[in-house]
Structure 1
Amino acid sequence: MNGKLVVGSIVLTALAAGAVVYYMQEYGPYAAVSFTPGAEIVLTALSGTPEPIPVRDIQGIDGNSSPLKFRACFVTEQSLATLTETYRVYEAPTPLNAPGWFDCFDADRIGEALDSGEAVAFLSQANVVPNSNDVEIDRVVAVFPDGRAFAWNQLAPGTEK
């Protein structure tokens, strides 16, 4: 009987530890992002100045364990034609996967749309995380023709270590 109690407590402890590790990997590093009304998302104009764009239905996450954890989903009313005439197109967009529970952000779908030309990527801000160990991190925004848009941070092209 004592052996069953010992084995049972070991199994329960292992299950509890596994649950904690899973939670800390999947949910722990992320927190909801608070956006400043009127300046939620910026795009870099052709002149080089970041400018806020009007958006709605914005939701985002970020984490302090890595500058690459930022993700956001939103809708913009500006047309792709207006955006491409006004803001810098980003030449090497690479959407990064979001945690499974942040289901508005599908990196594979966004990447396919960018590759096919269905969506267009814009530079939101260059070097959005200053002083990050000589690695430049850009914020990128991909916009679909229907106004759905997605933002993420990625390593700037040519700065990979």
Structure 2
Amino acid sequence: MSGKVIAIGLVVLSALFGVGMYYMQVYGYYYDVTPRPGQDVKMVSVATGQPEPVAYADFRAIDADSSPIRYRACFTLSEDPAALGGRFVELPPKEPRVAPDWFDCFEEETIDAGLRDGSVRLYLGQKNIHYGVDRVVAIAEDGRGWAWNEPNDCGRKAWDGTPVGEACPPRPGKAAE
């Protein structure tokens, strides 16, 4: 009898732990980003190489301190998306990061399909927003926009343990490798 009680207790405890872990990953670590009008959406200018703000509306974003790649944002561009070409650094299409289901304005399937068919363009928002992480901005032909953080080459190397080499800046708080 006591063996059954212990086994049932372990199963219940494991299930509760699993539910808690799921909640923390999907809901617990995220927080709403407080909008900063004119500062939230930037893209790197071809002319200056620096991030420049673009006009937008309806901005919503989430982030988490537990990882530099959990940032997701959605907005509506206030200018003609066709006018962005040539002004800002364009990136080759890449698969967008997935957002939690409850953050419903970030439509990764729509973004991915648009990147594949050319109706969504991908731009560099900011280089090294965190060490080894760039912010990318996707803009659809209808003016909808999304942003997320994506590991760059230095970040991928640093995270998998590969020596990053001289092409990468030193990590904050560490000497050059």
Structure 1 unaligned regions, length at least 5: none
Q: 1:6 to 1:158 in 2, by over 3 A?
A: closer
Q: CA deviation at 1:112?
A: 1.8
Q: Which residue of 1 aligns with 2:106?
A: 105
Q: Which residue of 2 aligns with 1:91?
A: 92
Q: CA deviation at 1:86?
A: 1.6
User: Within 1, Cα distance between the matches of 2:17 and 2:86?
Assistant: 53
Q: 1:91 to 1:6 in 2, by over 3 A?
A: closer
Q: 1:49 to 1:7 in 2, by over 3 A?
A: closer
Q: CA deviation at 1:117?
A: 0.5
Q: Structure 2 length normalisation: TM-score?
A: 0.76
Does the Cα contact within 8 Å between 1:44 and 1:50 map onto a contact in 2? Answer: yes
Q: Which residue of 2 aligns with 1:155?
A: 151
Q: CA deviation at 1:49?
A: 1.8
Q: 1:17 to 1:82 in 2, by over 3 A?
A: same
Percent of aligned positions that are identical: 36
User: Within 2, Cα distance between the matches of 1:11 and 1:159?
Assistant: 39
Give deviations 1:56-96, integer Å, cap 9, x for gaps: 11111111111110000100121122111321112253311
User: Within 1, Cα distance between the matches of 2:81 and 2:153?
Assistant: 23
2:136 matches 1:140: yes
2:43 matches 1:43: yes
Q: Which residue of 2 aligns with 1:124?
A: 125
User: Within 1, Cα distance between the matches of 2:153 and 2:10?
Assistant: 48
Count of residue pairs the alignment pairs up = 156
Q: CA deviation at 1:36?
A: 1.2
Q: CA RMSD in A?
A: 2.3
Q: Structure 1 length normalisation: TM-score?
A: 0.83
Give deviations 1:100-125, integer Å, cap 9, x for gaps: 11111122321221121111111110
User: Within 2, Cα distance between the matches of 1:141 and 1:29?
Assistant: 23
